[in-house]
Amino acid sequence: MVGSEWVIDGLPDEYLQHLRTYVKDVQRVYGDSLDGVLLYGSAVRGEFLPGRSNLNIVLVVKSTKADQLKKYGALHRRWAKEQIVVPLFVTQADLPAMSLVFPLEYIELQEQHRLLAGQDPFVGFKVNQRHLLAEVLQSLRGNLLRVRQRFIEGGGSEEAVTILLPLSLTAILPCLRGVQRLVGRPVLSQGEPLLKDFETFLSVDLSGLRDAWLLKRGQISPGQKEIPRLMERYLESFERLVQSVEARLTQEPT
């Protein structure tokens, strides 16, 4: 059931009301084939920015056949205007494979979600630390390679860089929480204290990543002259981070 007692820190009442109505709509469309509705992402971490952030949803359903997925089309047309993106559709049977193949994404969902309706599917599952280690290292190094490619593809333009850096940083932050789990540090859900924690315990300058965080949050608006320096600082910080994490994790027992 969806209750009026919902309180999600940092999420404005307007969006809470959207979610209540949205859940009722999903329940109406899917009925008994719906097992659960979960909210995750910035709205749960207390970092939601009205007009900038999306509301991210997981729908746990009994079937993911094409006819069942197609039912969501009308809901998407209605709710995309309210920043609710197309959900992740999963079944209970998907979860063991998710924890094996996507351990980083799985543990993020498991630890940082809010149950809006139905039953919580993430109770009782465990993530193998070796699989988590492999995905963290692969994701960080892969993101670094991709950001170099995307920078070239965008021609280094102001518009391209201001889009690229927030997207790249968004992909990095879950990896950093994965590192915290692997080394036994408290897992920090919010971006700014997370970056500061890494600067402290790795003794590495991440000012370029912190600048990208301010850009992502709309707190800075670098002009055309500053963009090349911002990109350079970002790449330097990112490279230092990847090297430091790789050195640390390959020495850590798992």
Q: How would DSSP label each residue in 199-241?
A: HHHHT---HHHHHHHHHHTTS----TTTHHHHHHHHHHHHHHH
* Residues 237 and 138 grouped into a single domain: yes
Q: Which of 118, 145, 170 is the last residue of a domain?
A: 118
pTM of the predicted model as reported, rounded to 2 decimal places: 0.84
> 82 lies in which domain range?
13-100+112-118
Domain assignment present for residue 169? The answer is: yes
The rounded radius of gyration (Å) of the Cα atoms in the chain is 19
pLDDT digits (tens, 9 = 90+) for 67-110: 999 999 999 999 999 999 999 999 999 988 888 899 999 899 99
CATH number at residue 59: 3.30.460.10
Q: How confident is the model at residue 126 (pLDDT cuts 50, 70, 90)?
A: confident
Confidence at residue 82, expressed as pLDDT on a 0 to 100 scale: 94
* Residues 61 and 146 grouped into a single domain: no
Q: Which of 118, 148, 174 is the last residue of a domain?
A: 118
Confidence at residue 5, expressed as pLDDT on a 0 to 100 scale: 59
Confidence at residue 252, expressed as pLDDT on a 0 to 100 scale: 54
Confidence at residue 3, expressed as pLDDT on a 0 to 100 scale: 44
Measuring CA to CA, which residue among 173, 244, 161, 145 is closest to residue 203?
244
Q: Which of 90, 118, 146 is the last residue of a domain?
A: 118
* Residues 138 and 243 grouped into a single domain: yes
User: φ, ψ for residue 28 (rounded to 5)?
Assistant: -65, -40
Evaluate if residue 9 carries a pLDDT over 90. no
pLDDT digits (tens, 9 = 90+) for 176-205: 999 999 999 999 999 999 999 999 999 999
